[in-house]
Structure 1
Amino acid sequence: MAFIPFKGAKIALLFQGQLIAYQRDQKPEIPFPGMWDLPGGGRENDESPVECAIRETGEEFNITIDPAWIVWERYYPARITTDPGSYFLVGKLEDGFGPIRFGDEGQQWAIMSITDFLDHPDVVESLKSRLRDYLAENM
């Protein structure tokens, strides 16, 4: 599959109305310090958006994703038009989140309802907007 050049990918992993998120480190040199985020991150080499999201989720949570579980994918342009944008994906887990092994990035993780995630004041706003795009088209 062809895809638009991109810098990274984030994924909302859904299971029975819940998703997994983590609180970013409190480091001033990173984007959105201390905010709640979804699995994903920067692209490595020539990864596809799906490959990027799967690798990052494995590194961050030890969750193995079957590509068949990914039900939605959309490219979002960067705010600075000369920069590459990113992809947002949604995956539906078949058997829950499994045993989580939290990686070395972030302060803590949580499984929260989609509603709580969307209402949380400390979630990265662009992720809320992107998840709402998916929900508007699929619920």
Structure 2
Amino acid sequence: MSTSIFVNIATADLERAKAFYTALGCEINPLFTDENAACVVWDEQVFFMVLTREYFATFTDKVLADTATTAQVLIALSRESREAVDAVLEAGLAAGGSEPKAAQDYGFMYSRDLEDPDGNILEFLYMDPAAVEQGPEAFMADSE
């Protein structure tokens, strides 16, 4: 059995969050979705459990971060090309997301950040397969 990843994130508006993530190309698994949570399917191994803030709070004794002003985690998801990074950002911006900083282009890696309407930060990146295999320093030395 392979490992699946379930990322739990809080939302102030579950319907808005569902609309945002489906605009990015995700599907909602209705078997694990109700008035408190939605299971957002990224792919066969990666899922976001988008939980109302009230429901999320039942899973921890800690104070929930205010994602409008505090970053608790950056969720990084790879894409198959630079164009795919740009396409998912454009979809997210059109669906009510925001881009908190300019694109980062390191030569071997290209990334852009997207904040969902609740302020959760998604980072979409493309890394040259040669850089993945060799490591960034060796890749950059070979490209000079």
- Which interval holds the TM-score relative to the shorter structure? under 0.3
Q: Which has the larger radius of gyration?
A: 2
Higher RCO (Cα < 8 Å, 6 or more apart) = 1
TM-score relative to the length of structure 2: 0.26
TM-score relative to the length of structure 1: 0.26
